[in-house]
Every structure is written in structure tokens, then in C-alpha cells.
Amino acid sequence: MLLSYRAVRVAAGATLLAFAGSNFAQSTTDEALDRAKQAKTLTDALAALGVTNPEPGNKVLLEAPDIVVIDRKFPVKVTSRMPGTDWVALFVERGTEPFVKLEEFPAGADRELSAEVRLPLTAKLRAVVRSGGKYYQVSREVKVATPAGKSK
């Protein structure tokens, strides 16, 4: 009887450790995301998410207008046609808050990120995709125009 009690205690302890480990892994991901959101440069935001040596993303589509009105929100859509994509992130290359959004995807899901962005100056948008443990990127410049009769 003592052995079965001990076996139950060991199994319960192992289950508790596995649960704690999965929560720890999740909080590490949350911490990385928080660091990316707080980053002041694009390099720091990418490093916070573990992005290293992103390759050109030939199967990543970044849709955004060519010209937008200063300080007005506009839609941006990123679509990954790469199998095995587990997340897509969007960044602004210029400015003090480069991180825009990160979307995670379960296996087999549509891999599309939509966001609304506001730019005070002409800047490049950069989409980064993680697929199969590798990183891929694509960028696009969005010009910012001031409406006639307005000055900044």
C-alpha cells in the first residue's frame, strides 16, 4: 500500500512540474512579446522575439497603401503563403515604437494578419514571418502626405 501511495505522489509531482514548466514557457513568450512592445528600435524589437538573419519572404504578401494622410489610420494586411507559418509580426522601421502587432497561428489555419497603422512620417513597414523555425521578411515604403492647407 505504501508503494502505491508513493507512486501516486511521484506521479502528482511530475504532473505539477510539467504544468509549471508549460506555464513558465508561456510566460517566457509573454515576456519576449512585452520586450518587443517596449523596444525603441527595430533591431531591439526583432532581437526580443528571437529573429535572426531573416531571409527574403517571396511567399509573404504585405498590402498597404502607397500614400496615406499624416496621422490617419490605414489598413495593413500581411498574408503568408508559406507552409508551417506559426506567427506573423508587423513593424514600422522608423519611429520610437517599431512593434505594431504579432499574430500566432495554429497548424492549418489561415495565416493572415490585419492591423491599422498610423504614421507621422514616411516609413517602411516590415513584415516578419516565422515558418519552420526560420525567419522571412518583406518590407514596403508608405509615403505620408500632408493635406493641402495644413502644415505640421
Tens digits of residue pLDDT in 113-145 = 999 999 999 999 999 999 989 999 999 999 999
Query: 91: phi > 0 → left, psi -120 to 50 → alpha, else beta; which?
Result: beta
Q: What percent of the chain has pLDDT over 90?
A: 65
- Looking at the fold, whether 23 and 60 belong to one and the same domain comes out as no
26 and 89 co-located in one domain: no
Domain of residue 12: give its range. 1-38
Phi, psi dihedral angles at 36 (to 5 degrees): -65, -40
Give the C-alpha distances (Å, rounded to integers) separating 119 from 8, 86, 148.
59, 27, 18
Same domain, 124 and 64: yes
Give residue 152's pLDDT: 56
Residue 43: inside a domain: no
pTM > 0.95:
no
Q: Is residue 4 part of a domain?
A: yes
Domain count, the chain: 2
